[in-house]
Structure 1
């Protein structure tokens, strides 16, 4: 006999906010009790090394983008079209004195005193449509930013594990950085940040 599994969907104000799966039908009372996996990988098993945490966090982030990108690319044109339909068409239906509806088009007769209002709404609708077309590009930028973020974390870990790399660096530190630091630990962080920035710029 096939064994079932159980899914608990947690809600807030009637809307789903997360779910967990259990083979035993045993769930925490609230979603707040669950340790949610963070984008920075902080909840990955403690026994894993810091390098493994960074790698797993990066893989999780990239796979999320891979899963979402085709869907976002398919619906993004519809976002602008939906905004155009809701805002512009509702305005025309409200202000039109006469409408001619056919299978392929609707013609609205609108009093001239509403032209400036129509122009403003139409311009907003066109901008919204343009933004909708840019959403896939924003997703690509997000992928690049995710890569750079995790690469910087990896470099930070490598340098932190090899302090000799910092002491032998010829990176110059300004007097302002020295005085701005509230202690030796913060000064080390300033030097570390500058070294990471220099490495990232060379890549």
Structure 2
């Protein structure tokens, strides 16, 4: 199993962090789409279309009034690299072969990573979403498949700090790749 480099959260530079946190896609029972997958895919790193200056930024911090501040929660690696690695692992769990000489080419874009805070009397509610578009073409560029995946999550916490953000990003990313793994249109396009 491939371990994806996890998320180091905080406002300090990444080098200042001590303990890396690993994101790992847990195995799942996805036999419905696993058995006959023989397609070979070349994977192109996803593009980050979020318009952030630092590609390692997950989301900006918010103050007690829900207003965005200059602080950020950052990952050890660019978010596009983390999401691309999760997609590769998800396809590997489906028994697709990933190779630079693949018959098909998978590319995509991270459209957004959003966080909305809803302050409560005792606890805060945080809604998190990750929007990713993926497409597969032949090596010649002819379209074969495309789909948009949106992972949503909600957490209620009295402390909406780095650990909560990391956990919710991990859960939201897992929701996106599970949608990919259970996509009947992907299975139909490649088999």
TM-score by length of 2: 0.21
Greater fraction of residues in strand: 2
Which has the greater radius of gyration? 1
TM-score by length of 1: 0.20
Which structure is richer in relative contact order (CA contacts within 8 A, separation 6 or more)?
2
